[in-house]
Amino acid sequence: MRMVVNQGELEDKIVMTSKAVAKKTAKPVLSGFLFEVSSEGVFVNATDLETGVRATVQADEVEGEGKFVVDASTFLDIVKNLPNDVVVLEYDEDVLNISSGRSSFSLSTMDASEFPEFSFAETDSFVEIDTSILEDMIDKVIYAAATDEFMKNLNGVYWEFTDTGLRLVASDGFRLALIEQNLESTLGMSFLISLKSMKELQNVISNTSEPAVRLRYDGKRFSVEAGDVQVTMRVVDADFPDYRRVLPKEYNTKVVLSKTEALDALKRTMIIAKKGSDAVKLEASEDGVILTSRSPDYGEAREELEADFEGENIEAAFNPKFLQEAFRNVDTEEIELYFVSSTAPLKIKGFEKEEYFYIVMPIRLA
Amino acid sequence: MRMVVNQGELEDKIVMTSKAVAKKTAKPVLSGFLFEVSSEGVFVNATDLETGVRATVQADEVEGEGKFVVDASTFLDIVKNLPNDVVVLEYDEDVLNISSGRSSFSLSTMDASEFPEFSFAETDSFVEIDTSILEDMIDKVIYAAATDEFMKNLNGVYWEFTDTGLRLVASDGFRLALIEQNLESTLGMSFLISLKSMKELQNVISNTSEPAVRLRYDGKRFSVEAGDVQVTMRVVDADFPDYRRVLPKEYNTKVVLSKTEALDALKRTMIIAKKGSDAVKLEASEDGVILTSRSPDYGEAREELEADFEGENIEAAFNPKFLQEAFRNVDTEEIELYFVSSTAPLKIKGFEKEEYFYIVMPIRLA
């Protein structure tokens, strides 16, 4: 088997495929790319058995056919650094020869028949969404997911296809982020996708130049297709909690802050907070907002912020990192905070925006 | 004690002082900045007992006098993030109050009387050198020093003041880098400065805006003065080896390579080399230069380079990282390589340049 391919095209496709390569694995073949070359085209595949990526490599010339598995990190490193646009790959007797300009490599390969099947059953129905919109939706919720893999039902992002569109929700039990987007069609399904799969999907979405992607569900797996690259994700076998229970329906205090000022003040109070109990106290009244933090060994910080205020005076403490992540993800320069009480969930959202919001639980004041 | 100081001035001075703060220390006071405020001015000091930095802070207003030690990383973090140019520091009853705009901090302090003396005896004689020249000289040799602190006589940079100027030399026993600069005066001394002190000096030199620095030696310590910032370094109590013994005096093969091409080719051969014996074989002849590397598990890499060639054919193997660091530090696009034999030190230098060169020992070919 021999093929000629453009360096940029090959690099693009293996970069998108690379994140699905298994990191630590007892099955060496999973640390490689499976290349499949036939009259149907050239495909590169990787999977960690939870997520799979399959990409078509647009080759300039192909002779013969064959399958081989090559160590992914070595191959990626080589392709990224090749000196010339024209790359020739030749596979013969278990050796892959790569040549470009005056550089050449002979790489050992692994047995393609050992590479596991991780495919998606083709479906007719799909939902189309702008790539940039989906990328932004994922960015705005993914950080709120639990990072502990043992918390199976929170270690991921919940995809909820409603009658009117798509809603993504993530929560680690202490805070929750939710974003909605109207769409013309629906898959009529809801499922949880693991954080690991979500990160592999993010890698493909952020590297593709396709303006829109297609979402499909085959009964077991969820797939996102960006042109000739397809990401297939196993749906998590766990129920995402009933998040609607924690969404506050009313409020007793409303505060509007400047995002820039609030983020700067938070950053300073965090210097002291991280040396102590990792908490920042927020006091809101007609006079504005006061943030304070305290460490028994290092001292205290105090910040005053101007704020629009409405309702009852309030005092509540929060993990400052959880506030910071919420504020950063709000699109408007003014941020709205809705309090019920010192111990009830706080709702944070953009100024007069409804499609994205964030809920955070206070820390009990000592 | 109360003082008003510009945020930028305070940040600049504590950034330069900060690298001398002890990292891991059994003496907590060494993890702080010592502030000394009197009619003579405001000074900030830090030391790890091997290097000390003392800087004058140009305050806008000073009332009273006093000394205190404040945790360096907390103070630096706070000062970097203050919201306003005007910073007020007040020290009273062991508490340091910092205020700027609507931010305020109260920090615990440590006992200034526990802070050790690490000073430089003033000398009349000094050598002046352009800051940018000294910075470049240090950059071009420091990476060749041994990083192992137990190799006391190689874990540093050798400063040799000759009749005509300054020579810096560093070596880890496998390679050596040497750079010379003519100067109008000399300290008439040679001494070894530890890698740790050198890095603290680099921090000051790269952060100062002074065009020239003054070098002094007081019989025990070496000092570099950049305007109102002074770095004092303990001279290492060990003899730097007689490096002149290893400098090749003749050659049997001369090769001239393109720096860009050679660095690119090296980078590619390193992908395979690092999976194997970490060696790259270099073969030079009338036809040019061939670089090869091999890994029993992953395969082989081969690179061809155009080269000007003079003398006998040669074949030698090297640690590719040692070649890469040498090539990167050569200022010219053409690099000269002088070989004696497969087992003798290779000399690398810029095209028709004499003031900087690099010597590297080959690896024995299997």
- In this predicted structure, what is the pLDDT of residue B124? 82
Confidence (pLDDT) at A120: 87
**Cβ contacts of A268 on chain B, cutoff 8 Å:** 78, 81-83, 103, 105
pTM to 2 decimals?
A: 0.90
CATH level 3 topology of B127-244: DNA Polymerase III; Chain A, domain 2 (3.10.150)
A106/B268 CB distance under 8 A: no
Q: Which of B94, B110, B300 to mutate to test the interface with A (most CBs of A within 10 A)?
A: B300
Q: How far from the centroid of its chain's Cα atoms is residue A343's Cα?
A: 30
For testing the chain B interface, which of A73, A79, A269, A300 should be mutated: the one with the most B CBs within 10 Å? A300
**DSSP H or E segment with residue B266:** helix B259-273
Q: Taking CA atoms, what residue in A is nearest to B100?
A: A303
pLDDT at position B366, please?
Answer: 58
pLDDT under 50 in chain B at which residues? none
Q: Do domains A2-114 and A247-360 have the same CATH topology?
A: yes
pLDDT at A124: 83
> Which residue of A103, A108, A305 is in closest CB contact with B268?
A103
Where are the domains positioned within chain A? 2-114, 127-244, 247-360
The pLDDT of residue A365:
67
CATH topology of domain B247-360: DNA Polymerase III; Chain A, domain 2 (3.10.150)
pLDDT in tens, A320-360: 999 999 999 999 999 999 999 999 999 999 988 889 999 99
Interchain proximity B78–A298, CB inside 8 Å: no
Find out if CATH 3.40.30.10 is the number for domain A2-114: no
Q: List the pLDDT tens digit at each of the 366 positions of chain A.
A: 999 999 999 999 999 999 999 988 889 999 999 999 998 999 999 999 999 999 999 999 999 999 999 999 999 999 999 999 999 999 999 999 999 999 999 999 999 999 998 888 888 889 999 999 999 999 999 999 999 999 999 999 999 999 999 999 999 999 999 999 999 888 889 999 999 999 999 999 999 999 999 999 998 899 999 999 999 999 999 999 999 998 999 999 999 999 999 999 999 999 999 998 899 999 999 999 999 999 999 999 999 999 999 999 999 999 999 999 999 999 999 999 999 999 999 999 998 888 999 999 999 865
